[in-house]
């Protein structure tokens, strides 16, 4: 195993993680809801009521606007280097959608919120998607 | 009304956290997943920070009280380790590894790269719909 020290950003990533944790905590303490993006998006495409639709839309709007605020606050452009194109990209999109619906959560809901409250389901989910994600990257980068 | 405003602020904080954390760059995400190559462990620190703050808050503030703008805390009630959880999470991981994108960063990066992420979001939403229809059968 080799560490890519040039890319390593432990302090910034830890700070980012804490902000994500604070966001999730505020949503739980105010609205009593888990901050899970796949669940929030599911609630947007099949809304239970106008109110359930509106708060999710507000959350999504805030998330979309966040990179602009990040730029205003830090003066740094966010890097975005795509790793997939065409069929690989859209195949991935379909798998992410179906998988998070079937598995009832993604990196935010299971990964941050679920593990935080020691949910066994979430811990198993995270171990499962981490394993298949690492295996997928291994196959693409080192086998093919 | 105020609860809608809170959701907007929470979305902003969440997205800014993703940006600081490095989660919005698919090549950094794949660098984290590439533990057999030149591994970038940064995103483990996103998890440590996020889980640390949230777990402390959860165990000290959430237990036994009511949320400010709602009647009760709505935590998932299903505790079974079932086939849906395993198959769904496994498929999600494959998709995450293929493109370095999970749902939060897809939403947060829309303005950074709309040409590829708007169609990605569209296909992902179709996938979410298909998944929830299949699951409810």
pLDDT category at B57 given cuts 50, 70, 90 is very high
- Please report the pLDDT score of residue A3 as a whole number: 95
Q: What is the mean pLDDT of chain A?
A: 96
Q: What is the mean pLDDT of chain B?
A: 95
- Chain A residue numbers with beta carbons less than 8 Å from the beta carbon of B95 are 91-97, 99
Examine residue A18 and state whether it is found in any structural domain, yes or no. Answer: yes
| Both tokens assigned to A46 | 């099949």
Q: Please tell me if residue B12 touches chain A, with a CB cutoff of 8 Å.
A: yes
Q: Please tell me if residue B118 touches chain A, with a CB cutoff of 8 Å.
A: no
- Please determine, for residue B6, whether its predicted confidence score (pLDDT) is greater than 80: yes
ipTM metric:
0.96
- Please report the pLDDT score of residue A135 as a whole number: 98
Q: Please tell me if residue B57 touches chain A, with a CB cutoff of 8 Å.
A: yes
CB within 8 Å: A56 and B7 = yes
Distances in Å between the Cα of A94 and the Cα atoms of A120, B40, B122, B129 are 26, 26, 9, 10
Distance CA B89, CA A128 (A): 6
CB within 8 Å: B131 and A97 = yes
| Both tokens assigned to A89 | 């990209």
Find the mean pLDDT for residues B102-113.
97
Examine residue A1 and state whether it is found in any structural domain, yes or no. Answer: no
Examine residue A89 and state whether it is found in any structural domain, yes or no. Answer: yes
Examine residue A86 and state whether it is found in any structural domain, yes or no. Answer: yes
CB within 8 Å: A17 and B55 = no
- Please report the pLDDT score of residue B21 as a whole number: 97
- Please report the pLDDT score of residue B33 as a whole number: 98
Find the mean pLDDT for residues B92-106.
98
- Chain B residue numbers with beta carbons less than 8 Å from the beta carbon of A25 are 53-54, 57-58, 61
Question: Do B19 and A16 touch, CB atoms closer than 8 A?
Answer: yes
- Please report the pLDDT score of residue A28 as a whole number: 95
CB within 8 Å: B85 and A121 = yes
| More confident site: B64 or A119 | A119
Mutation for testing the A interface, residue in B68, B97, B110 having most A CBs under 10 Å: B97
pLDDT category at A42 given cuts 50, 70, 90 is very high
pLDDT digits (tens, 9 = 90+) for A50-109: 999 999 999 999 999 999 999 999 999 999 999 999 999 999 999 999 999 999 999 999
In total, how many domains does chain A have?
Answer: 1
Examine residue A45 and state whether it is found in any structural domain, yes or no. Answer: yes
Q: Please tell me if residue B11 touches chain A, with a CB cutoff of 8 Å.
A: yes
Burial A38-55 (b: 16+ CB within 10 A, else e): bbbbbbbeeeeeeeeebb
- Please report the pLDDT score of residue B1 as a whole number: 85
Distance from the A137 Cα atom to the nearest Cα atom in chain B, whole angstroms: 5
Distance CA B107, CA B126 (A): 15
Examine residue A92 and state whether it is found in any structural domain, yes or no. Answer: yes
Find the mean pLDDT for residues B92-104.
98
CB within 8 Å: A7 and B31 = yes
Examine residue A111 and state whether it is found in any structural domain, yes or no. Answer: yes
Residue of A nearest to B82 (CA): A121
- Please report the pLDDT score of residue B41 as a whole number: 97
Examine residue A113 and state whether it is found in any structural domain, yes or no. Answer: yes
- Please report the pLDDT score of residue A70 as a whole number: 97
pLDDT category at B12 given cuts 50, 70, 90 is very high
CB within 8 Å: B84 and A103 = yes
Distance CA B80, CA B82 (A): 6
* Full domain range(s) for residue A126: 10-143
Mutation for testing the A interface, residue in B14, B116, B130, B132 having most A CBs under 10 Å: B14
- Please report the pLDDT score of residue A56 as a whole number: 97
- Note the helical H segments in chain B: 2-21, 26-33, 42-57, 83-99, 103-108, 114-136
Distance from the B65 Cα atom to the nearest Cα atom in chain A, whole angstroms: 9
């Amino acid at each position: 195993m080799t560490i890519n020290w040039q890319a390593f950003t432990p302090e910034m990533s830890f700070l980012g993680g804490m902000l994500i944790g604070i966001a999730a905590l505020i949503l739980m303490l105010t609205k009593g809801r888990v901050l899970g993006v796949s669940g929030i998006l599911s609630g947007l495409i099949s809304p239970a009521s106008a109110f359930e639709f509106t708060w999710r839309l507000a959350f999504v709007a805030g998330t979309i606007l966040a990179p602009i605020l990040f730029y205003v606050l830090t003066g740094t452009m966010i890097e975005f280097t795509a790793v997939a194109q065409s069929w690989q990209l859209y195949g991935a999109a379909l798998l992410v959608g179906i998988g998070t619906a079937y598995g009832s959560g993604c990196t935010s809901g299971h990964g941050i919120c679920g593990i935080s409250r020691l949910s066994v389901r979430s811990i198993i989910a995270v171990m499962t998607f981490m394993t298949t994600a690492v295996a997928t990257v291994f196959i693409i980068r080192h086998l093919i | 009304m105020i609860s809608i405003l809170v959701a907007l602020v929470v979305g902003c904080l969440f997205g800014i956290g993703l940006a600081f954390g490095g989660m919005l760059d698919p090549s950094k995400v794949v660098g984290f997943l590439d533990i057999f190559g030149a591994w970038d462990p940064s995103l483990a620190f996103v998890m440590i920070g996020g889980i640390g703050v949230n777990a402390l808050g959860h165990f000290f503030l959430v237990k036994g009280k009511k949320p400010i703008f709602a009647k009760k805390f709505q935590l998932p009630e299903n505790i079974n380790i079932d086939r849906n959880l395993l198959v769904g999470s496994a498929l999600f991981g494959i998709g995450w590894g293929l493109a370095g994108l999970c749902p939060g960063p897809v939403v947060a990066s829309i303005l950074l790269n709309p040409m590829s992420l708007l169609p990605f979001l569209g296909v992902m939403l179709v996938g979410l719909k298909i998944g929830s229809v299949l699951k409810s059968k």
